[in-house]
Structure 1
């Protein structure tokens, strides 16, 4: 058993980080799903269902659903951005084999590997929230169309513009983190060529 003074095991820390990462993405997806449900059922049904959501059981179910949705969104975002990610990777690694070998070499340096894992975690969150923001924007617009309130057209326009801009911001952040990660990996795992050894003068014939 690990004592309080000992560092957290790497495997446990990685698993905890992955759980939090998926949950962060899933909460956004769950929010978009709730907004879409509000848009589908309308104001009257939403008012009747509101007390049900305010319970411990609903909170537990919501946490589980958020985690499951986080996995789906992460896979969907990865599939959508994989062609672009591969094009970015070819700037620094000519083949998948070269990239895999660089990842293996980086594992020999725990500090650098931990920093790379943290950067990849941020990249995955930005990747997932690119889709989340688009879904939230669409769901929010649909939900607002079911309600009557002042300045609805203006709020709809502002929500759409801000949502689209935020999604683009997450995409740009994902792209920057991806390029930086590949560049650092290439720099950290490339062995510099040894300088040529100067030719030694050959001894001349010994005079008799």
Structure 2
């Protein structure tokens, strides 16, 4: 989970930094550029990226709660049915590993959905605040590409999440069938 949070946090940090740079303006950013490129600043940035990754992961999870619940209800009628299915595959480490990998990809997609939105905002602000040629073309390109990326991450999140629930339902039913019944008939 450390890497997932860091991957999400790097995008969030870039977006936050872009917004701060836009507010500070070109001249101020030009003056502090050497400080920001130091080793110390890199260490602080890595720590900040990790912390922001946690916040953005939780925010994205909260934002997508309703769509996630609708996807889950396709395969599990209740939360207890879902919890039971997760417990049913615990005796199969390869299934747990595949499930963990899918959840990792899902977390990155949902986090980068928010990262894309923040990066579009930051890029738009930078385009208007910094001396840039052909502002309108760049602004439109940022909006279009950022929107396409955000939509792509949402669609990937949705596909991975739906597939994960479907596979879990199938695997849990197979796991339950593979476990011999307890207290069966004993014949002499």
Whether the 8 Å contact between 2:109 and 2:153 is mirrored in structure 1 is yes
TM-score (norm 2): 0.92
Distance 1:54 1:180, change over 3 A: same
Change (3 A) 1:108 1:40: same
2:93 and 2:174 mapped to 1: Cα distance? 18
Give the greater-gyration-radius structure (CA).
1
Q: CA deviation at 1:149?
A: 2.3
Does 2:15 align with 1:36? no
Gaps of 5+ in 1: 1-17, 195-208
SS at 1:185 equivalent: helix
Partner of 1:57: 40
In the TM superposition, residue 193 of structure 1 has moved relative to its aligned partner by 9.9
Alignment partner for residue 142 of structure 2, among 159, 162, 165?
A: 159
Name the structure where helix makes up a greater proportion of residues: 2
Unaligned 5+ residue runs, structure 2? 178-188
> How far did 1:124 drift?
0.3
> More displaced, 168-177 or 49-58?
49-58
Partner of 1:199: none
2:182 counterpart residue number: none
Count of aligned residue pairs for this structure pair = 177
**Is the counterpart of residue 178 in structure 1 residue 161 in structure 2?**
yes
- Given that residues 9 and 50 in structure 2 are in contact (C-alpha distance below 8 angstroms), is that contact kept between their aligned partners in structure 1? yes
Residue 169 (structure 1) aligned with residue 152 (structure 2): yes
1:101 corresponds, among 54, 59, 84, to 84
Q: In structure 2, how many angstroms separate the alpha carbons of the residues matched to 1:106 and 1:51?
A: 53
The reply to whether residue 141 of structure 1 matches residue 124 of structure 2 is yes
Q: CA deviation at 1:150?
A: 1.7
The alpha-carbon deviation at position 123 of structure 1 amounts to: 0.2
Distance 1:192 1:118 in 2: 19
Could you tell me which residue of structure 2 aligns to residue 68 of structure 1? 51
TM-score (norm 1): 0.83
- Larger mean Cα displacement after TM superposition, 183-192 or 50-59: 183-192
What is the root-mean-square deviation in Å for CA atoms of aligned residues? 1.3
The offset of 1:146, in angstroms, is 0.5
